[in-house]
Amino acid sequence: MTLTEKRVLIEPVSSDLTIQLQCTLLGLSRSTFYYEACQDDWFNLLIMREIDKIYTARPDYGKRRMSIALKKKGYDIGLELSRTLMKRMGLEAIGPKPNLSKPHPTHKIYPYGLRGIRMVRPNQVWSTDITYLPMKNGFLYLTAVIDWYSRYILAWKLSNTLDGLFCREVVLEALEKYGTPEWFNTDQGSQYTCFEFIRILEEAKIQISMDGRGRALDNVWIERFWRTVKYEEIYPKDYSGGLEAFQSLRLYMTYYNEERPHSSLGYETPELVYLTRR
């Protein structure tokens, strides 16, 4: 179990076990434990939950439209708070926008190399992304690696921060289990343009593609999966904490891969398509 996974499993508000005892049982130093989710007040968590639902349905909404949409729901939220909370959630409106920011000087940006490509087999293209995961008493971030052809979820992880560590861990897990794809696609977030992430793909001799700025359709399969998992699993369950989220999502990922038929796959399952057509 990785450090990221151990942190997620600790329940800060547990009535049965202290944080110190939970850390001891997991073999985790208490000084390395932090849990940002519980540092937000209930109102911010409520608004972030609403923002997540709105953004999942309308990823073209920026801070202005988000503020208007929230006010229509009865929440008097201004532009500044909308901007602050969307930034904390890692959300940015899709669509053309002026180039007002410069990339980190040590980070490498690759062009989108998959336009017009025809998906004909598994392990042709993989991609990854991060999404916000609301809970009753806080929030986490969920990342996953998906095979474009089969829609098979190759690996997934939860984290309580947006740092790049769990993004690298999930890719390494997928590569170890399933080998290497021809292409790997990400967005231009700092988690994916940093040296440590790029090195993993370059050393595996994988061709790298990155979404154009504001083009969610460049990574459409993972975006569709986020909508599916949120409406079928995350929103109805309303997890009470990290442990419940981890255990419930583990069951859902098995269901999604092995049992849930996909119309785009001729009503076969992602696992069957992935394993039989390689």
Most confidently modeled of 14-18, 170-174, 237-241?
A: 170-174
Based on the domain organization, do 136 and 53 belong to the same domain?
no
How does residue 163 score in pLDDT terms, banded at 50, 70 and 90?
A: confident
For the stretch 172-181, contacts whose Cβ atoms lie closer than 8 Å and that sit 24 or more positions apart, written own/partner, are 172/200, 173/145, 174/126, 174/145, 175/200, 175/204, 178/123, 178/154, 179/123, 180/123, 180/204, 180/205, 180/206, 181/123, 181/124, 181/125, 181/126, 181/147, 181/206
How many other CB atoms are found less than 10 A from the CB of residue 193? Answer: 21
Contact criterion met (CB below 8 Å) for 142 and 130: yes
pLDDT in tens, 119-149: 999 999 999 999 999 998 889 999 999 999 9
How many whole angstroms separate alpha carbon 62 and alpha carbon 186? Answer: 21
Strand duo 183-186 + 207-210: pairing: parallel
Based on the domain organization, do 83 and 217 belong to the same domain?
no
Q: Is residue 220 part of a domain?
A: yes
How many whole angstroms separate alpha carbon 150 and alpha carbon 22? Answer: 39
Based on the domain organization, do 139 and 239 belong to the same domain?
yes
- pLDDT-above-90 percentage for the chain: 59
Q: Is residue 106 part of a domain?
A: no
Based on the domain organization, do 268 and 197 belong to the same domain?
yes
Give me the mean pLDDT over the 32-52 stretch. 72
pLDDT in tens, 87-116: 999 888 875 544 434 455 567 899 999 988
Residue 266 is predicted with a pLDDT of 93
Q: Which residues contact 127 (CB under 8 A, 6 or more apart)?
A: 145, 146, 148, 184, 185, 186, 219, 221, 222
Residue 197 is predicted with a pLDDT of 96
Domain that residue 18 falls in: 3-34
Give me the mean pLDDT over the 16-44 stretch. 57
Residue 57 has pLDDT above 70, yes or no: yes
- Pseudo-torsion of CA 243, 155, 264, 230, nearest 10°? 30
Residue 37 is predicted with a pLDDT of 42
Based on the domain organization, do 271 and 133 belong to the same domain?
yes
Based on the domain organization, do 147 and 220 belong to the same domain?
yes
Q: Is residue 225 part of a domain?
A: yes
What domain count does the chain have?
Answer: 3
Residue 91 is predicted with a pLDDT of 87
Lowest mean pLDDT among 67-71, 77-81, 97-101: 97-101
Q: Is residue 247 part of a domain?
A: yes
Residue 98 is predicted with a pLDDT of 43
How many other CB atoms are found less than 10 A from the CB of residue 238? Answer: 11
How many other CB atoms are found less than 10 A from the CB of residue 134? Answer: 23
pLDDT in tens, 220-239: 899 999 999 999 999 999 99
Based on the domain organization, do 182 and 130 belong to the same domain?
yes
Residue 77 has pLDDT above 70, yes or no: yes
How many whole angstroms separate alpha carbon 160 and alpha carbon 7? Answer: 8
**Among 118, 179, 120, 113, which residue's Cα sits nearest to residue 150?**
120
Based on the domain organization, do 169 and 257 belong to the same domain?
yes
Q: Is residue 115 part of a domain?
A: no
The CATH number of whichever domain residue 178 belongs to comes to: 3.30.420.10
Residue 101 is predicted with a pLDDT of 41
